[in-house]
A and B are shown apart, each in its own frame.
Chain A
């Protein structure tokens, strides 16, 4: 009885330590990446290449998802607001929920599964095929040459992707509310402009997406670099990237929302 209780307590303790260790390892790796990121800027073409793979390649999924999310918000918002006789506020609802929450969070989740997993798989495979060791043999620091550009590419691409997602969402809401349902176009935009404050909503949205971009890029590069150099190791690392990035995004979102929108 007592032994069983101690056993489960031990398990809880081990899990907690494991999580703390994981966060600590990612943070240490992040600091290491930042210290070796001079190469990413001196040879900016490397970063541009990674921005292409994590940013441009994610464009389709981000734009299409943004459009659909905005359309769904327009439909659902109209259904609810119509019962209160304030269907014109649907623009406000769509724009505020997209800029404050859905834009940064959903685009970061998509980014983690589209670009984050690719970064991890690529780095993991480079490690498994000993390309990273080969670089070290040639006195090239793999963190500066491989990790840094991928980290910065993802970090710089994320806020832009989030802004595009939000803009597409607002356009999707406009299509549904104004063109399909027939809400007045002037009221749609003016109520939206009255409610969305640039400093309070748009800038905070950008800050959020930058933080998410940092978290996803750091986790993705770390998982790839720390992956066991086997087929299973790489596949496990890819899964872990998506899972822990998603959890990190949602946890950070709660903290950031509490700081930004407490009043």
Chain B
């Protein structure tokens, strides 16, 4: 086989390989984290984060507005300190509420943001004070039974 044909085939091979890599990068996968280059950082304390993981999405009205960048245990307040990177183009008021929610019944957990009425917006490094942690099924059932048992005597008297 002569040199030119050989080079042509190897050229086709290499181009096809890179096309496959591009296909995997842009059609099969998605670049997470990198698309949030322009972002600001906010923190929030949660009493319970459930199964929230680093890189979990931060959504507002179901739209992706940022990602969880770090989770650690705060030894001063003894609760979870979650750091989030939010898209700089999307401002949130200082009285925004952050809650740990679940998408679907068995879906992944994410942080939901509901903006408030304040005119000031969250800045780099500010803290979201209104938070609601994840719902723990065992605690919910426990509370349900407690409230039932407190109701029961009243219900009997009536």
By Cβ-Cβ distance, the 5 closest A-B pairs, closest first, are A160-B17, A196-B29, A163-B20, A167-B20, A164-B20
Chain A residues with Cβ under 8 A from B1's Cβ?
A: 52
Chain B residues with Cβ under 8 A from A55's Cβ?
A: 10, 13
Q: Which of A48, A52, A99, A157 contacts B29 (CB 8 A)?
A: A99
Query: Is B25 interfacial (CB 8 A cutoff)?
Result: yes
Binding site for A on B (CB under 8 A): 1, 3, 6-7, 9-10, 12-14, 16-21, 23-25, 27-34
- What secondary structure prevails in chain B residues at the interface with A? helix
Q: Which of B9, B19, B33 contacts A199 (CB 8 A)?
A: B33
Q: Is the CB of B17 within 8 A of A164?
A: yes
Q: Which of B3, B10, B30 contacts A56 (CB 8 A)?
A: B10
Most chain A CB within 10 A, of B12, B19, B27, is at B27
Most chain A CB within 10 A, of B1, B12, B21, is at B21
Q: A48-B6, A99-B24, A166-B20 are in contact. Are A202 and B13 (CB under 8 A)?
A: no
> Contact size class for A?
20 to 34
Q: Is the CB of A201 within 8 A of B29?
A: yes
A48 CA / B14 CA spacing, docked (Å): 10
Which of A6-14, A138-146, A186-194, A254-262 faces chain B?
A: A186-194
A166 CA / B16 CA spacing, docked (Å): 12
- For A165-196 the 0/1 string (1 means CB < 8 A from B) is 01110100000000000000000010011101
Q: Is the CB of B21 within 8 A of A198?
A: no
Q: Is the CB of A56 within 8 A of B13?
A: yes
Q: A196-B28, A202-B25 are in contact. Are A160 and B6 (CB under 8 A)?
A: no
Most chain B CB within 10 A, of A59, A164, A170, is at A164
Name the residue on A nearest B1 (C-beta): A52
Query: Is A49 interfacial (CB 8 A cutoff)?
Result: yes
Query: Is A206 interfacial (CB 8 A cutoff)?
Result: yes
